[in-house]
Amino acid sequence: MKEDYMIYGDVVVFDTTHRTNKYNLICVPFVGINNHWKNVMFGCAFVTNEKTESFEWLFEVFKKSMEGQSPMTLFTYPDQAIGNAKRKVFPTTMHRLCIWHLYQSGVNEFEKLKANKFFHDAFQKCLTGCRNGDEFEKCWSSMVSIYGLQDNSWFKRLYDLRHKWSTAYNNDIFSAGILSSQRSESTNTTIGFNAKETANLNDLCIIFKNIVERWRSNERNDELQCSREKPTSCLPLTGFLKHASEVYTKTIFKDFEKEFLKSISTSIRFLSEEHDVKLYYVTVADEITSYQVNFNAVDFLVSCSCKRFEECGLLCCHCLRIMHVHSIPQIPECYIKRRWTKFAKQDLWDKSVSGRFEKGKNSATWRQKMVKKYYNLVLKDQENEEARAIIEDGLNAMTSALEALETTWQTRKATDETEISSSSYDMLDPSHSKGRKQRTDHLQKSKKKKTSDASDSNQ
């Protein structure tokens, strides 16, 4: 979990909406998202209350266990105590409120609006559909006016917290594309579904362990598929798509492919150029909204007003269209976020391998390499009697040399074990052993004296 956090801990989802039935404890998992867009578990705790002090303690323990590394973005349930604890323990972390919870609470706030599709759409527009603050203010004012929510205390408080949940105000902060804590919500649902009302803490720990094992098994399968299978596309895998298929996982590649296909249907309009920076307006077909794209033709740097790369770490269709127009053959290195690639855990793998094998060699890879060499040699010279004799003589000589080397290793190992064993026998008792013997003798004399006195008294 610690290794996963070092790679995917830039975004953490922290949910407190699940309680165990027997002890009424609050289950709070720390969940992230890996390079296959799947849940990954960083840790889990059970707390007895939702006070600021409890969350401060929990965040401190979690931060300490992760070597003091703070997440870039923290998604939580709307709760004042969590917010207070976050400000103290993670002062540099961007606090985002769970849009999923806000949406459910907003829809359920009024029974009459529950079945109103137009209210659903208007509220969703305020949550995730506004590009900037001005657009959000217009949509929010229109919604509260149409549905008479001006005096509602819940919506007033929600408006005061708009910078923590509306994408119009924080789409330039990396959040891995997560707009809610649905991932943590699914985690809690899984735990709650398997836990019976009579489940004790040991049962919950076993359930938690099984969930983590299942997630890791899914991750291993995803890694295996990425290593064995090449992504498929409805378009020829050339240029951008080919490069994306080589670096991204299959899941992330599909997301990239959608943006690439969308870029084909965009129209562009050149506006101006200043200091090698060209300014374009890019519009997706059937959409009214245009996005401003800046392109540096010298350094191949691109930025878009939609802020998709800043928010989720993947280029948007607007940027892809401009880069395609300028015949850039592949994705620039600065726009490939390592956490989304097939090689996200490469450093950990290399470290693990180097710890097990000298000079960082993987024994399985070396074995396959040597087998291939010998097999090719045998195939090449199997028809030549003289060559076969040389191979057989060489194999016999090599076998004798290895057997002699193995005998040397065994002798050395036996000698080392004998030295260790003999040294253990030479170990002396601590200096206070004499005092302990004196105390033992004293106790024995005392017992004898008591026995003797008892005998005299009986007589």
CB burial class (10 A; 0-12, 13-18, 19+) of residue 114? exposed
pLDDT tens digit at each of 459 positions of the chain: 999 999 999 999 887 776 666 777 888 889 999 999 888 999 988 888 889 999 999 999 999 999 999 999 999 888 889 999 999 999 999 999 887 777 777 777 666 677 788 888 888 888 888 888 899 999 999 999 998 888 888 888 889 989 888 888 888 889 888 765 455 555 555 555 566 767 778 888 888 888 899 999 999 999 988 888 888 888 888 888 999 999 999 999 999 999 999 999 899 999 999 888 999 999 988 777 889 999 998 888 999 999 999 999 999 999 999 999 998 989 999 999 999 999 998 876 666 555 554 444 566 677 777 887 887 788 777 888 888 888 888 888 888 888 888 888 777 766 665 554 444 444 343 344 334 344 444 445 554 554 555 445 444
| Residue 442: predicted pLDDT | 47
Buried b (16+ CB within 10 A) or exposed e, 275-304: eeebebebbbeeeeebbebbbeeeeeebbb
Number of C-beta neighbours around residue 136 at 10 A:
21
**What's the pLDDT at 245?**
93
Q: Among 94, 79, 85, 110, which residue's Cα sits nearest to residue 16?
A: 79
Distance CA 102, CA 327 (A): 44
Cβ(55)–Cβ(87) below 8 Å: no
pLDDT in the model for residue 440: 42
Residues 6 or more apart from 450 whose CB is under 8 A from it? none
How would you classify residue 24: left for phi > 0, otherwise alpha for psi between -120 and 50, otherwise beta?
left
**Residue position matching structure tokens 């290793």:** 409
